[in-house]
Amino acid sequence: MDTLSKRQQDILTLVGESGFVTIEALADSFGVSAQTIRREIIAMDNAGLLQRFHGGAGRAEGTSTLRLGHNYKAHQNREEKDLIAQKVADLVAPGSSLYIDVGTTMEAAAIRLNKLASLTILTNSMRVAANFDHTRHAVHVLGGVVAGQDGSLVGEQAVLNLRDVRLDYALIGCSGIETSGSVMDFDQRKIAIKQAALGVARHSYLLATAGKFERSAFARICHRDDVEAVISSD
Protein backbone atom coordinates (compact mmCIF):
# COMPACT_ATOMS: atom_id res chain seq x y z
CA MET A 1 0.00 0.00 0.00
CA ASP A 2 1.87 3.07 -1.27
CA THR A 3 -0.39 5.78 0.13
CA LEU A 4 -3.17 5.94 2.68
CA SER A 5 -6.43 7.79 2.23
CA LYS A 6 -7.53 10.29 4.88
CA ARG A 7 -10.02 7.75 6.24
CA GLN A 8 -7.39 5.01 6.38
CA GLN A 9 -5.04 7.35 8.24
CA ASP A 10 -7.80 8.10 10.76
CA ILE A 11 -8.63 4.41 11.19
CA LEU A 12 -4.98 3.65 11.83
CA THR A 13 -4.76 6.44 14.40
CA LEU A 14 -7.87 5.23 16.23
CA VAL A 15 -6.58 1.66 16.32
CA GLY A 16 -3.21 2.92 17.60
CA GLU A 17 -4.90 4.89 20.40
CA SER A 18 -7.47 2.33 21.51
CA GLY A 19 -5.84 -0.99 20.65
CA PHE A 20 -9.06 -2.33 19.12
CA VAL A 21 -11.94 -0.63 17.30
CA THR A 22 -15.13 -2.30 16.12
CA ILE A 23 -16.33 -2.10 12.53
CA GLU A 24 -19.67 -0.80 13.77
CA ALA A 25 -18.03 2.06 15.71
CA LEU A 26 -15.86 3.00 12.73
CA ALA A 27 -18.81 2.93 10.34
CA ASP A 28 -20.81 5.21 12.66
CA SER A 29 -17.85 7.53 13.16
CA PHE A 30 -17.15 8.01 9.45
CA GLY A 31 -20.76 7.84 8.29
CA VAL A 32 -20.17 4.96 5.86
CA SER A 33 -21.34 1.37 5.61
CA ALA A 34 -19.83 -1.49 7.57
CA GLN A 35 -18.93 -3.08 4.23
CA THR A 36 -16.83 -0.04 3.28
CA ILE A 37 -14.96 -0.16 6.60
CA ARG A 38 -14.45 -3.90 6.23
CA ARG A 39 -12.79 -3.36 2.83
CA GLU A 40 -10.49 -0.71 4.31
CA ILE A 41 -9.50 -3.02 7.16
CA ILE A 42 -8.80 -5.91 4.80
CA ALA A 43 -6.55 -3.70 2.66
CA MET A 44 -4.60 -2.39 5.66
CA ASP A 45 -4.36 -5.87 7.16
CA ASN A 46 -2.86 -7.12 3.89
CA ALA A 47 -0.37 -4.27 4.04
CA GLY A 48 0.60 -5.21 7.61
CA LEU A 49 -0.55 -1.88 9.06
CA LEU A 50 -3.10 -3.38 11.44
CA GLN A 51 -4.56 -6.75 12.31
CA ARG A 52 -8.04 -7.81 11.24
CA PHE A 53 -10.22 -9.49 13.85
CA HIS A 54 -13.79 -10.67 13.82
CA GLY A 55 -15.92 -7.55 14.08
CA GLY A 56 -13.08 -5.05 14.10
CA ALA A 57 -9.39 -4.24 13.85
CA GLY A 58 -6.48 -4.14 16.28
CA ARG A 59 -2.85 -3.13 16.36
CA ALA A 60 -0.40 -5.03 14.23
CA GLU A 61 2.39 -6.77 16.11
CA GLY A 62 5.33 -4.53 16.95
CA THR A 63 5.45 -0.74 17.34
CA SER A 64 5.64 0.56 13.77
CA THR A 65 1.88 0.90 13.44
CA LEU A 66 1.70 2.94 16.63
CA ARG A 67 4.41 5.33 15.48
CA LEU A 68 2.78 5.67 12.08
CA GLY A 69 -0.60 6.45 13.61
CA HIS A 70 0.71 9.23 15.85
CA ASN A 71 2.89 10.74 13.14
CA TYR A 72 -0.01 10.90 10.72
CA LYS A 73 -2.21 12.54 13.31
CA ALA A 74 0.45 14.99 14.41
CA HIS A 75 0.88 16.27 10.86
CA GLN A 76 -2.81 16.52 10.04
CA ASN A 77 -4.41 19.98 10.23
CA ARG A 78 -1.34 21.54 11.83
CA GLU A 79 -2.37 25.12 11.07
CA GLU A 80 -5.83 24.47 12.50
CA LYS A 81 -4.37 22.99 15.68
CA ASP A 82 -1.97 25.92 16.05
CA LEU A 83 -4.90 28.34 15.78
CA ILE A 84 -6.81 26.46 18.46
CA ALA A 85 -3.69 26.43 20.62
CA GLN A 86 -3.30 30.20 20.35
CA LYS A 87 -6.95 30.72 21.33
CA VAL A 88 -6.35 28.59 24.42
CA ALA A 89 -3.20 30.51 25.36
CA ASP A 90 -5.13 33.78 25.07
CA LEU A 91 -7.72 32.50 27.57
CA VAL A 92 -5.39 31.15 30.23
CA ALA A 93 -3.96 33.51 32.82
CA PRO A 94 -0.33 33.20 33.98
CA GLY A 95 -0.07 31.38 37.29
CA SER A 96 -3.10 29.18 36.56
CA SER A 97 -3.51 25.47 37.22
CA LEU A 98 -4.62 23.25 34.34
CA TYR A 99 -5.46 19.70 33.39
CA ILE A 100 -4.36 19.07 29.79
CA ASP A 101 -5.72 16.01 28.03
CA VAL A 102 -3.94 13.69 25.60
CA GLY A 103 -3.77 14.20 21.84
CA THR A 104 -1.93 16.17 19.18
CA THR A 105 -4.17 19.24 19.57
CA MET A 106 -3.26 19.25 23.27
CA GLU A 107 0.42 18.94 22.37
CA ALA A 108 0.08 22.02 20.17
CA ALA A 109 -1.66 23.85 23.03
CA ALA A 110 1.16 22.90 25.40
CA ILE A 111 3.73 24.51 23.12
CA ARG A 112 1.79 27.79 23.21
CA LEU A 113 1.03 27.62 26.91
CA ASN A 114 4.69 27.05 27.70
CA LYS A 115 5.26 30.72 26.81
CA LEU A 116 3.14 31.83 29.78
CA ALA A 117 4.54 32.18 33.29
CA SER A 118 4.33 29.87 36.30
CA LEU A 119 1.65 27.38 35.30
CA THR A 120 0.78 24.27 37.28
CA ILE A 121 0.13 21.46 34.81
CA LEU A 122 -1.54 18.11 35.43
CA THR A 123 -1.63 15.76 32.47
CA ASN A 124 -1.80 12.09 31.61
CA SER A 125 0.19 12.70 28.42
CA MET A 126 3.96 12.33 28.55
CA ARG A 127 4.14 14.19 25.23
CA VAL A 128 2.24 17.15 26.64
CA ALA A 129 4.46 17.20 29.73
CA ALA A 130 7.59 17.19 27.56
CA ASN A 131 6.48 20.40 25.83
CA PHE A 132 6.78 22.41 29.04
CA ASP A 133 9.94 23.89 30.53
CA HIS A 134 9.91 22.34 33.98
CA THR A 135 12.23 25.08 35.29
CA ARG A 136 9.41 27.61 34.78
CA HIS A 137 6.33 25.48 35.35
CA ALA A 138 5.21 22.84 37.86
CA VAL A 139 4.48 19.81 35.67
CA HIS A 140 2.71 16.80 37.22
CA VAL A 141 2.28 13.62 35.17
CA LEU A 142 -0.68 11.62 36.47
CA GLY A 143 0.23 8.07 37.36
CA GLY A 144 -1.06 5.17 35.34
CA VAL A 145 -0.29 2.57 32.69
CA VAL A 146 1.07 3.62 29.29
CA ALA A 147 -1.66 3.15 26.68
CA GLY A 148 -0.40 3.57 23.15
CA GLN A 149 2.44 5.28 21.37
CA ASP A 150 0.91 8.71 21.95
CA GLY A 151 2.40 8.62 25.44
CA SER A 152 -0.92 8.60 27.28
CA LEU A 153 -1.38 7.13 30.74
CA VAL A 154 -4.63 5.52 31.88
CA GLY A 155 -5.95 3.71 34.92
CA GLU A 156 -7.47 4.21 38.34
CA GLN A 157 -4.39 5.96 39.72
CA ALA A 158 -4.73 8.82 37.24
CA VAL A 159 -8.38 9.30 38.23
CA LEU A 160 -7.51 9.20 41.95
CA ASN A 161 -4.78 11.80 41.46
CA LEU A 162 -7.39 14.24 40.17
CA ARG A 163 -10.04 13.57 42.78
CA ASP A 164 -8.82 15.88 45.55
CA VAL A 165 -7.42 18.80 43.54
CA ARG A 166 -9.08 22.02 42.38
CA LEU A 167 -7.99 23.39 39.03
CA ASP A 168 -8.58 26.64 37.18
CA TYR A 169 -8.95 24.98 33.78
CA ALA A 170 -9.56 21.60 32.18
CA LEU A 171 -8.66 21.27 28.49
CA ILE A 172 -10.45 18.23 27.09
CA GLY A 173 -10.15 16.46 23.74
CA CYS A 174 -12.51 14.06 22.02
CA SER A 175 -12.94 11.81 18.98
CA GLY A 176 -16.26 13.28 17.90
CA ILE A 177 -19.15 15.62 18.68
CA GLU A 178 -22.53 14.26 17.64
CA THR A 179 -25.25 16.50 16.20
CA SER A 180 -27.15 15.89 19.45
CA GLY A 181 -24.31 17.54 21.37
CA SER A 182 -22.89 14.36 22.90
CA VAL A 183 -19.10 14.51 23.14
CA MET A 184 -17.66 11.11 22.27
CA ASP A 185 -14.43 9.12 22.46
CA PHE A 186 -13.24 5.60 21.65
CA ASP A 187 -11.30 4.76 24.81
CA GLN A 188 -13.33 4.39 28.00
CA ARG A 189 -10.17 4.39 30.11
CA LYS A 190 -9.35 7.89 28.90
CA ILE A 191 -12.96 8.99 29.29
CA ALA A 192 -12.81 8.28 33.04
CA ILE A 193 -9.87 10.68 33.37
CA LYS A 194 -11.53 13.36 31.23
CA GLN A 195 -14.66 13.17 33.39
CA ALA A 196 -12.63 13.38 36.60
CA ALA A 197 -10.87 16.52 35.31
CA LEU A 198 -14.16 18.13 34.32
CA GLY A 199 -15.40 17.56 37.86
CA VAL A 200 -12.57 19.50 39.54
CA ALA A 201 -12.07 22.44 37.17
CA ARG A 202 -13.57 25.91 37.52
CA HIS A 203 -13.45 26.42 33.75
CA SER A 204 -13.59 23.66 31.15
CA TYR A 205 -12.92 23.88 27.43
CA LEU A 206 -13.36 21.29 24.72
CA LEU A 207 -10.71 21.54 22.00
CA ALA A 208 -11.93 20.20 18.65
CA THR A 209 -10.75 20.44 15.07
CA ALA A 210 -13.38 20.77 12.34
CA GLY A 211 -13.28 17.06 11.54
CA LYS A 212 -14.60 16.20 15.01
CA PHE A 213 -17.99 17.84 14.47
CA GLU A 214 -20.99 15.71 13.45
CA ARG A 215 -18.92 12.62 14.13
CA SER A 216 -19.55 9.82 16.61
CA ALA A 217 -17.42 7.34 18.53
CA PHE A 218 -17.79 4.43 20.93
CA ALA A 219 -18.65 6.06 24.27
CA ARG A 220 -19.89 9.36 25.71
CA ILE A 221 -17.73 11.79 27.68
CA CYS A 222 -20.30 14.50 28.37
CA HIS A 223 -22.60 16.93 26.56
CA ARG A 224 -21.15 19.99 24.90
CA ASP A 225 -23.26 22.11 27.27
CA ASP A 226 -21.28 20.61 30.17
CA VAL A 227 -18.19 22.57 29.10
CA GLU A 228 -17.85 26.33 29.21
CA ALA A 229 -16.93 26.58 25.55
CA VAL A 230 -15.86 24.57 22.52
CA ILE A 231 -12.66 25.97 21.06
CA SER A 232 -12.26 25.32 17.35
CA SER A 233 -10.61 27.11 14.45
CA ASP A 234 -13.85 28.92 13.48
The CATH code of the domain that includes 70 is 1.10.10.10
**For residues 200 and 189, what is the distance between their CA atoms, to the nearest angstrom?**
18
* Residue 5, pLDDT score: 85
The predicted-structure confidence for 161-209, as pLDDT tens digits, reads as follows 999 999 999 999 998 899 999 999 878 889 999 999 999 999 999 999 9
Residue 68: per-residue pLDDT: 46
Question: What is the mean predicted confidence (pLDDT) over 156-164?
Answer: 93
> Who's near 52: CB < 8 A, 6+ residues apart?
41, 42, 45
Asked if residue 108 and residue 138 are part of one domain, the reply reads yes
Q: Assess whether 31 and 97 both reside in one domain.
A: no
Question: Do both 124 and 191 map to the same domain?
Answer: yes
Question: Is 70 exceeded by the pLDDT of residue 35?
Answer: yes
Do 33 and 51 lie in one domain? The reply is: yes
- Characterize 58-88 residue by residue with b for buried, 16 or more Cβ atoms within 10 angstroms of its Cβ, and e for exposed: bbbeeeebbebbbebbbebbeebbbbbbebb
Q: What is the CATH number of the domain that holds 95?
A: 3.40.50.10470
Are 99 and 187 within one domain? yes
Domain end point (choices 74, 109, 132): 74
Q: Collapse the DSSP code of 226 into the 3-class scheme (helix H, G, I; strand E, B; otherwise coil) and give the result.
A: helix
Q: Are residues 134 and 49 in the same domain?
A: no
User: What is the secondary structure of 14-76 as a DSSP string?
Assistant: HHHHHSEEEHHHHHHHHTS-HHHHHHHHHHHHHTTSEEEETTEEEEPSSSHHHHHHHHHHHHT
| 1 is a domain residue | no
Is residue 11 domain-shared with residue 88, that is, in the same domain? no
Residue where a domain stops, chosen among 46, 74, 102: 74
Total tally of structural domains belonging to the chain: 2
**The pLDDT of residue 211 is above 90:** no
Domain containing 53: what range? 6-74
Whether 1 has a pLDDT exceeding 80, the answer reads no
- Kindly state whether residues 146 and 211 are assigned to the same domain: yes
Model pLDDT for residues 106-139, shown as the tens digit of each residue = 999 999 999 999 999 999 999 999 999 999 999 9
**118 and 84 fall within a common domain:** yes
The pLDDT of residue 216 is: 80
Q: For residue range 40-99, what is the model confidence (pLDDT) as tens digits? A: 999 988 888 888 888 888 877 644 444 445 555 665 678 999 999 999 999 999 999 999
| 113 and 199 together in one domain | yes
Where is pLDDT greater, at 123 or 214? 123
Distance from chain centroid for Cα 63:
19
Other C-beta atoms closer than 10 Å to the C-beta of 128 total 29
Residue-level pLDDT at 148? 66
- What's residue 17's pLDDT? 72
**Where residue 100 falls among pLDDT bands split at 50, 70, 90?**
very high
Whether residue 55 is found in the same domain as residue 139: no
